[in-house]
A and B are shown apart, each in its own frame.
Chain A
Amino acid sequence: DGGITQSPKYLFRKEGQNVTLSCEQNLNHDAMYWYRQDPGQGLRLIYYSQIVNDFQKGDIAEGYSVSREKKESFPLTVTSAQKNPTAFYLCASSIAGAPRDEQFFGPGTRLTVL
């Protein structure tokens, strides 16, 4: 079955540590996205990528970094510079340049910084 996997589902880290969230898709999609969701709030775009080896900042990129070395993978690193990293992180993918097509979402990673 095609889909998006995110790991781990729950992640705990100490303040000041960098942490990397995994996102893998086997849908053959060119475009991939990272969103942050805080309790009772909508989705905020962190980074997105439309093609391998290229990515753009979203609305809240400060304190985060990404890489896109392979089409199927788009890992997100939450750095110590992110002031309030505790949140639910969602990865998504879609066909690039297809405005009529929806995004597909992974199950999410809940990050808690202690």
Chain B
Amino acid sequence: GNSVTQMEGPVTLSEEAFLTINCTYTATGYPSLFWYVQYPGEGLQLLLKATKADDKGSNKGFEATYRKETTSFHLEKGSVQVSDSAVYFCALKTSYDKVIFGPGTSLSVIP
């Protein structure tokens, strides 16, 4: 079946450090891939997405590239800020309407 695996958290970084959160997936067919962000006590918000192989999604300095050959969609940011502290979820969606979410990775950025 379809599944998403994310690196275990929590991740703690100093401000301006480089961020990578690994995400790999298993899916039949050609899924669309998403990164969502959840701030404390809130719902999820879409951060970025990619809908086909080699697409790069980007938003607010975050980037992720859809790598079909390695079935990966790693999230990166060159310089994190305190305001980036949140939980990040990798997710996939196939031709059906159900979305498969990873377990989430908690990020804390300290000044």
- Which A residues have a C-beta under 8 Å from some C-beta of B? 4, 6, 31, 33, 40-43, 45, 48, 50, 58, 90, 92, 94, 96-97, 99-100, 102-108, 110
Contacts and interface: CB of A to CB of B under 8 A. Distances in A.
A102 B34 contact: yes
Contact of A43 (B31, B89, B96): B89
A45 B44 contact: no
Nearest to A59: B98
A78 B45 CA distance: 25
The 9 closest A-B pairs by CB, nearest first: A105-B43, A42-B103, A100-B51, A105-B44, A102-B46, A43-B101, A100-B32, A107-B43, A31-B97
- Chain B interface: which size bin? 20 to 34
Interface of B: 31-32, 34, 36, 41-46, 49, 51, 89, 93-99, 101-104, 106
A108 B42 contact: yes
A104 B34 CA distance: 12
